[in-house]
A and B are shown apart, each in its own frame.
Chain A
Amino acid sequence: MDQLLLNPGFPLLSTLIFLPLAGVIPLLIVKNDSFSRYWTLAVTTVVAVLSLLLITGFDKTTVKFQFAEYHSWVQSLNIQYVVGVDGISILLVILTTLIMPLCVLASWSYIKTRIPTFMICLLIMETAMLGVFVALDFVLFYILWEAMLIPMYLLIGIWGGPRKIYASVKFFLYTLAGSILMLVGIIWLYMANHYSFFIPDMMWVDYSFNHQILLFLAFFLAFAIKVPMFPFHTWLPAAHVEAPTAGSVILASILLKMGTYGFLRFALPITPAATVYLMPYVLWLSIAGIIYGGFTALAQQDMKKLIAYSSVGHMGFVTLGIFVLNIQGMEGSILQMINHGVTTGALFLCVGMIYERTHSRELSSATGVGKFMPVYVTFLAFFSLSSFGFPGTNSFVGEFLILAGAFKTNILFKHNIALGLAAIPGAVLAAAYMLRMLQKIVWGGTANPDQSWLTDLNIREIATLAPFLFFVFWIGLGPQPFINLMHSSVVNLLDQFHAHQGHALAAAELILR
């Protein structure tokens, strides 16, 4: 309990979580397309504005969970309703609340059937996602973690493309299968911690080395599939390609971050010794993801697949930064999670806007649209620059920090230089595949000469993309406010980690010897 900074006044976090859910009710009653659009936009906007109160009230000096709320829920099993944010989760919460209204805008004319149902899915999605980032009770966390799958499954399965059933089933089963072992891990932790599901109590406990390894693997599978890390990524391209634009944006910007958030929130504090022990393998998987994602993206003809595979590479950078286990890498990773949410989300929006016009995501059929859509290609060009880490854009700062972290050597991790070396070719690949896309879309020849009917972006579309561009440059040029928000929590995480990694590891060395 002393890890919580209880919020005596207005229950801000609960409001954020449950307001979208409450917003579902009118949609169930009034089945009107236009109303459901405006209503959902209003609800998500209110949530976004309210979430800014988190920033103004956030105490950057404490490492405790703030805005915390603690209520008992299921007494007999000792399950509580506990929520709270710290420096690691606050940016992700804000990212989620800010992305949602933009997703509603992006679906304004894209979604043409069952609009109220679609909006209900978005709202339920928002509740579940916010809950995952702030839950501090394992049962609450697990329920919301799995609950996210259902609206996403419906988003892909109902409003998706031609192979929507295949994609949605693959997405659902793949991610569900990963979380089953996590449930086993949670139950073991419950029993090992005097029948408590309270997450902060489970951290830094120094479980025995063997248990840590098993726990780590159980959690790792769930998170690695979510990230997705190579080789668990094959559900991602399928899901992205078939999902409607808003689905792709939520998937890329928020859902993928749950995996990396999970590593930071659970894997490191609960199983520090196992993390150190297995770190090299995770790092090499990250590198493999960076290179593999880059190569595969290079071969794509479908814009969504291209961006999906680029996500595999970018998320490889994020896991790389987390598992180099130093301050630069870790803060770079958290920043890069936000960056990826901004940039890749925006790129998916861009592809969606082309798709709405030409009904194709093939690069070849988008060739040459730049001549007729100058505003559109200006946005696209900036987001592409951000995607390959151009200085002045957000991703540069993130990737720079991660690489700096990867190159930082200390006595424990001699192999870091090799890692840094191996990660860098990813930067060349990223430029190569993004330029290939730009070359076709923005310029290209006169392969599709009949495109003069294409209309450029309208005000609503510009309003959807503009906030993303704003963040691309804000984080790119002045990232310090974002870094300051997370700093205390990250420093605490690393301090605790270094204090605890030794205990179990030393014990393990005795056993292994």
Chain B
Amino acid sequence: MARVLEDGDRLFVGANLHVPRAGALYAHMTHAPNMKLSVGMVTTNLLNADLLEPTKFSTDYRVSRWAESIVIHNDIFERPQHCSDVFFVGGMQIDRFGNTNLIGIRDATGTLAVRGPGSLGTTTMAHYAKRYYIYAPTHSRSVFVERCDYISTFGHGEGGDHRARLRLNQFNEGPRQVITPLGVLDFETPDHRMRLTHVHPGVGRRGDRQHGLRTRAGRLD
């Protein structure tokens, strides 16, 4: 995760995404000293902070001791100047074209059976960010589906030039990669179907099969 972050990036990471936050801090401490992190409504450079205590909630005002600037909540979600350069989106479901779902899961009859939390800022922030990545804390068949029951953040829609037809490419051209505990997947083919590009060291073939990992994530048989 740290590898996809560049020196000078401005980055907003939610307090509940512990792994992306750790990745951001790791990048910051190594190859990206000029990164600006937005932590709990505060934009800051943490390189010289002595000790980074974990925050307990997303707008812990105690982080303001590190602040270079304070961000007004609403500005984060629809001001390209305030939005992150890089954004990580999660989902209850992620489909083969990188669409993600935070709305809910349908039962066999098509009715909403499991109510999700809702889309928060992901719909607009993934649109305004210069680069965005999908982060999946678990790599499982229930998360990686053929098609999301509901799309809350548009990835590549039905693939191909779907984004371009909807004129959604003003700020970015869709999700760059999907980062999971097992590997990395991208969308760099003309049809933008998700494909496996990297398996993390130590993840063996049997583990891949158990978790439904294939070179084409669209085929999870």
Do A and B associate with each other? no
Identify the B interface with A (CB < 8 A): none
Identify the A interface with B (CB < 8 A): none
